[in-house]
Amino acid sequence: MSTKPVLQIALPVPLPGCYDYLYPGSPAPAQGTRVQVPFGRRTLVGVVHGQTQSDYPKLKAVSAVLDDTPVFTAELYALCERAARYYHHPLGEVLNYALPALLRQGGDAQPSQEKRWRLTERGTHVSDEQVSRAPRQHQALQVLREHPKGLSSAMLNALDVASPALNALRDKGWAEQFVVENGPGISKEVLAEPPLAANGEQQQAIHAIQDAEGFTPFLLDGVTGSGKTEVYLQAMAPQLAAGKQVLVLVPEIGLTPQTVQRFRQRFAVPVTTLHSGLTDRERLDNWLAARDGKARIIIGTRSAIFTPLANPGLIIVDEAHDSSLKQQDGFRYHARDLATWRAKTLNIPVVLGSATPALETLQLARDQRFHWLKLSRRATEQQRPGIEILDATLAPPNQPLLPLSLQAIKQCVDNGNQALVFINRRGYAPMILCQDCGWQAECKRCDSFLTWHRAENNLRCHHCDSQQRVPSRCPSCGSSAIHEAGSGTEKLTELLEQSLPVPVIRIDRDATRRKGELDSKLKTIRQGDPAVLVGTQMLAKGHHFPKLALVVILDMDAGFLSADFRGPEQAAQLLLQVAGRSGREGQGRVLLQTRHPDHHLLQLAASGDYPALASALLEERRMAALPPFGHLALFRCEAMTLGKAMAFLQELAQQPVADGVNVLGPVPAPMEKRAGRYRAQLLLQANQRAPLHQTLERLLDAARQSPQSRQCRWHVDVDPIDML
């Protein structure tokens, strides 16, 4: 039997490995080129991985080649391959994920062309009399005369010029459409405004980054308000002047438009963003602008780590401890880690900036594998406010705020300032219960209580989004003594509105659902009139509110007491981020209400001594061989019964494992039932990565072959950050 040339195609299907397709043409498309292939009854867009020969008689052929040149640069392709291996995720799905939606769907990898209408040479000589009997053409002619550089159809429409009139002018040879060349704004000077005068610590950091040659990883460890952004801005200037691109990852652009604004203001080079708020077309155009080197600063959320770059010079990860950098479903990668890999391959510096570095990053700095740059003071002479601990058990019954806190808020707004009450719980009250029999409203589909949303007057599950009506009588004993317990943002807002003469601005997911609502609220806050803000963690990150002088923090205890080993670290990070919003441009004060005022870790965090807290936590991690000292991977499984989920994982747990790998479980997940499914997990731990990955590979093989796998949904999470 004769062999034929075939292409190995990576397809977006949940199975490892590539698929062979005949490709009779020559030369064969290179790695990273998109093709269309038949797959079962569907047609899929896949990516060429390589070439080989096959004698298998029933191979299908590639139906179309979609790109003249590969959409993936070799470097980006290699990054995807490495990520697929490391996270044990199918290559085809990783490649698919890395592409903008329009390219995934098979669209052209071409920037959109802006077309405009203008008058032709002949059109400019047409007199008004010539069109006196066609008023619409007359009007169109006039508008085009006033805009010699041309107008898009949309703009013409807005000026009441419709296409029939334009087409008529074109047919007479008086008007035409042309394509606008959007060349890069070429300017010798990259700075649009002078930099601030950096202080001593900032200067050291800036120079260290500027002087770095080749791959150099930095931890920029600077307290909130210490001017990390100014360091990024000055460190990147020489790169931009040398014609290089800078990639900046941020947690959530929608929440921090100011950050993007600061980059745009400082530099006279094209700044492009990549985030979920863009249309597919905008995203593709921005992606192409980065690939073609037209965009010089690319700011994006985690998936932007997969942006192709023509001429990369520096990668910056802002708020590098932030959990949004880890994707929590599907392809579970960590953009922070990929940023470091990528910088290494590209042989360029990478800067991870944070006021509260992740323990993983901190340990790399301690081991001198990262250069540790410290900014210990606020840039603006302001003292960092200490956190005052208040004993919340002294609160009057059913009052979320201690009298002392309420008084401080009153005083704050009386002085013409703003106060923030932080509570990481939306809705009116987190619980509804019967006073006679103790019944509580629970979600039928999850192991969780329902939150009362008073504005909509329903009970909602924050885990599966299911809703119920508020019962007027106890479903268990019939009593009408149904009460709420605890408080969320809605109730606090109401309480504060009743006791204060100033506006209360609520910022949480429910109160910012409508488009533009968040922006307009943030704008009001920045205008600086006295007000009280009530917010969830949406308000914790990155915001700079000049008039915010007081922060009152409620209910952070759960994190510090959590069974998840990352609980205290994440709680401390959040606490210090929130506290950092206070007193940015004046005297600030932070009050922390807690029911555990003596808790050791909470006290350490409140003292503002994150390094001491981190040391204590790192010591615990070392003893327990947890990250960063040990490495973890988690198999999660969901099924219609707990028995099925456990049995499937039990089968995996019986597989032979490599030396040095510990298999823990299976055990039911901390939240055993969620959205109607039962959940269990199997944890793998090892001090070395190699045996862990070997074992994972074996378990994955077993999982795919197991008949039990058909009755469950399962996945593996490498370096999980959420153990729930």
List contacts with ligand ADP (CB under 6 A).
196-199, 202, 222, 224-230, 379-380, 544
**How do strand 531-535 and strand 418-423 relate by DSSP bridges?**
parallel
Burial of 46 (0-12, 13-18, 19+ CB in 10 A): buried
Task: Report what 461 binds from Zn ion, ligand ADP, none; CB cut-off 5-8 Å by kind.
Answer: Zn ion
When asked if residue 399 is in the footprint of Zn ion (CB under 5 A), the reply is no
Cβ of 213: how many Cβ atoms within 10 Å?
8
Task: Report what 443 binds from Zn ion, ligand ADP, none; CB cut-off 5-8 Å by kind.
Answer: Zn ion
Cβ of 233: how many Cβ atoms within 10 Å?
24
Task: Report what 101 binds from ligand ADP, Zn ion, none; CB cut-off 5-8 Å by kind.
Answer: none
Of 292, 296, 288, 306, which is closest to residue 266 (Cα–Cα)?
A: 296
Report phi then psi at 491, rounded to 5: -70, -40
Minimal CB distance to ligand ADP: which residue?
227
When asked if residue 474 is in the footprint of Zn ion (CB under 5 A), the reply is yes
Single out the residue of 82, 85, 463, 596 in contact with Zn ion (rule: CB under 5 A): 463
Of 691, 693, 697, which is closest to residue 719 (Cα–Cα)?
A: 693
CA dist 176 and 151 (Å) reads: 11
Structural tokens at position 691: 């045996």
When asked if residue 464 is in the footprint of Zn ion (CB under 5 A), the reply is yes
Report phi then psi at 673, rounded to 5: -120, 130
CA dist 293 and 313 (Å) reads: 12
Span of 337-345, 424-432, 462-470, 555-563 interacting with Zn ion by CB under 5 A: 462-470
Nearest approach, Cβ of 248 to ligand ADP (angstroms)?
Answer: 12
Task: Report what 557 binds from ligand ADP, Zn ion, none; CB cut-off 5-8 Å by kind.
Answer: none
Single out the residue of 80, 365, 446, 606 in contact with Zn ion (rule: CB under 5 A): 446
Q: Which is nearer to ligand ADP, 147 or 544 (CB)?
A: 544
Nearest approach, Cβ of 472 to Zn ion (angstroms)?
Answer: 12
Roughly how many angstroms between the first and final C-alpha of the chain, as a whole number?
A: 54
Task: Report what 446 binds from ligand ADP, Zn ion, none; CB cut-off 5-8 Å by kind.
Answer: Zn ion
Q: Which is nearer to ligand ADP, 89 or 377 (CB)?
A: 377
Q: Which is nearer to ligand ADP, 410 or 544 (CB)?
A: 544
Q: Which is nearer to ligand ADP, 187 or 380 (CB)?
A: 380
Structural tokens at position 594: 């807690």
Q: Which is nearer to Zn ion, 440 or 499 (CB)?
A: 440
Q: Which is nearer to ligand ADP, 198 or 684 (CB)?
A: 198
Nearest approach, Cβ of 354 to ligand ADP (angstroms)?
Answer: 9
Report phi then psi at 230, rounded to 5: -60, -35
Task: Report what 474 binds from ligand ADP, Zn ion, none; CB cut-off 5-8 Å by kind.
Answer: Zn ion
Single out the residue of 476, 480, 607, 687 in contact with Zn ion (rule: CB under 5 A): 476
Nearest approach, Cβ of 371 to ligand ADP (angstroms)?
Answer: 18
Task: Report what 344 binds from ligand ADP, Zn ion, none; CB cut-off 5-8 Å by kind.
Answer: none
CA dist 190 and 488 (Å) reads: 47
Q: What residues are paired with 352 via a beta bridge?
A: 219, 317
Distance of CA 116 to the CA centre of its chain: 36
Span of 95-103, 155-163, 170-178, 463-471 interacting with Zn ion by CB under 5 A: 463-471
Q: Which is nearer to ligand ADP, 12 or 222 (CB)?
A: 222
Q: Which is nearer to Zn ion, 597 or 668 (CB)?
A: 668
CA dist 542 and 224 (Å) reads: 9
- 27 preceded by a cis bond (ω within 30 of 0): yes
Assign residue 685 a region: left if phi > 0, alpha if psi is -120 to 50, beta otherwise? beta
CA dist 450 and 464 (Å) reads: 10
In the numeric block, the tokens 């009362």 are attached to: 452
Of 720, 709, 556, 568, which is closest to residue 639 (Cα–Cα)?
A: 709
Task: Report what 197 binds from ligand ADP, Zn ion, none; CB cut-off 5-8 Å by kind.
Answer: ligand ADP
Q: Which is nearer to ligand ADP, 503 or 546 (CB)?
A: 546
Site string for Zn ion, 415-444 (x = CB under 5 A): -------------------x-xx-x---x-
Nearest approach, Cβ of 318 to ligand ADP (angstroms)?
Answer: 8
Cβ of 98: how many Cβ atoms within 10 Å?
24
Q: Which is nearer to ligand ADP, 229 or 582 (CB)?
A: 229
Task: Report what 380 binds from Zn ion, ligand ADP, none; CB cut-off 5-8 Å by kind.
Answer: ligand ADP
Report phi then psi at 339, rounded to 5: -60, -40
Of 413, 426, 498, which is closest to residue 455 (Cα–Cα)?
A: 426
How many angstroms separate the Cα of 719 from the Cα of each of 14, 488, 714? Answer: 20, 32, 16
Residues near Zn ion (CB under 5 A): 434, 436-437, 439, 443, 445-446, 461, 463-464, 474, 476-477, 479
